[in-house]
Amino acid sequence: MPLLLEGKKVFITGATGFVGGYILKSILQKGAHVIALNGKRNDKSFLGDDSKLVTWVDIDILDPNSLLEELKEIDYVIHTASIVSFNTTLDELRAVNVNGTANLVNISLQAGIKKFIHISSIAALGVPEYGNFINENSKWTGDKGMSAYAISKYNAEQEVWRGYREGLDIVVLNPSVILGVGNWDRSSLTIFKTIQKGVKYYPSGLFSSVDVRDVTAAVIKAIELPISGERFILNASNIPFKLALETISNGLNVEAPSKKISKTSVNFIYYAEKIFSVFTGKSSQLSKDLIKSLFSRYEYDNKKAQEQIKIPFISLNDTMKWVKESL
């Protein structure tokens, strides 16, 4: 029988972000009392009047003492806060993504939290030793060739699994690129802004994405269902970038890219930008990790989430219909 959230206290990190904001709204609709971290940007405009129903706290997840004080009477923790970037150093990513998660896990153990929901990423699954197929049982094959972001997400997730071994009930969710209605200047939604400006070329890799509403539904299921020590890949589909960019372009009423670009050409642009940056002072928008992701052909399996927590998964086409209606 599902656990009821009504009247429960839920602590959310990253609640002023794209994903965290949707989760916060959904948790409030369930009748829970939400305690949330004020974000660095602290933009609560998306939340509207719901923001007034939240107890906002100014604490640093890198400060264990302040965390302990806030988590003393909390029932559930939903950890969504992290740095998402291909242009950030491993040390910077480790500080928030790994150390912050470790602190939150440690304090949750001390405070007797009922369940800890960790929003990870498909990046934390690494790459398969053979082939292109990835599921929840795939093993991390080492840091070599992995982006600093992926390494930080993997290490953060290891802190959560450590907490599980020490007695903390946890569920890990590994979403792909999260899309939906929101601020195009932040998170993965910046892809909309880029495409709206005009994109002429498409890479040959596969594009994996998930609707933010499915991520939110998975969080609720993870809390309410009697499950622990499980991870779920949240991914609607694995489709060619050409089709994905056409679908997104149609949703944004702009012309879709029609020319294929090779990895060699993109690498040339990357190195040219690096050279010119010495003279212009402007950093390159490309990175080796981003280029690698544009041409990868990994397929992420969503069967476990469909079967065990009953997430039907909204197609990219339907996500873009929703986005189009919001314009």
Closest CA relative to residue 266, chosen from 199, 318, 213:
199
Residue reference for tokens 């994996």: 208
Predicted pLDDT at 37: 87
259-280 average pLDDT score: 61
Average pLDDT over residues 202-206: 91
The answer, yes or no, to whether residue 280 has pLDDT greater than 50, is no
What average pLDDT does the chain have?
Answer: 88
Burial 153-182 (b: 16+ CB within 10 A, else e): bbbbbebbbebbeeebbbbbbbbbbbbbbb
Ranking 143-147, 208-212, 284-288 by mean pLDDT, the lowest is 284-288
Residue 59 has pLDDT above 90, yes or no: no
pLDDT given at position 32: 97
Contact 173, 118 (CB under 8 A): yes
Give residue 114's pLDDT: 97
Per-residue confidence (pLDDT) for residue 321, from 0 to 100: 98
pLDDT tens across 100-112, in order? 899 999 999 999 9
Contact 260, 240 (CB under 8 A): no
| Interval 196-221 mean pLDDT | 94
Residue ranges of the domains in the chain? 9-183+209-237+298-314
Residue 295 has a pLDDT of 83
pLDDT band with cut points at 50, 70 and 90 for residue 267: low
pLDDT at 1 over 50: no
Section 138-149 average pLDDT: 86
Secondary structure (3-state) at 234: strand
Asked whether the CA dihedral 203, 209, 212, 215 is positive or negative, the reply is negative
Q: Which residue has the higher pLDDT, 33 or 64?
A: 33
Residues facing 240 on adjacent strands: 206
Amino acid 293: pLDDT: 79
Q: Is the distance from CB of 147 to CB of 126 less than 8 angstroms? A: no
**Torsion of Cα atoms, 205 then 293 then 231 then 46, to 10°:** -100
Regarding predicted confidence, which is higher, 277 or 48? 48
Phi, psi (deg, nearest 5) at residue 177: -70, 120
Residue 163 has pLDDT above 90, yes or no: yes
pLDDT-based confidence at 27, cuts 50/70/90?
very high
Pick the CATH number of 9-183+209-237+298-314 from 3.40.50.720, 3.40.640.10, 3.40.50.1820, 3.90.660.10: 3.40.50.720
In sequence order, what are the residues at sequence separation of 6 or more whose Cβ sits closer than 8 angstroms to the Cβ of residue 8? 32, 33, 75, 76
Decide if pLDDT at 145 tops 90.
no
Two structure tokens written together for 12: 């959310």
SS3 237: strand
Q: Cα angle vertex 168, ends 174, 24, to 5°?
A: 55
Q: What is the pTM of this model?
A: 0.91
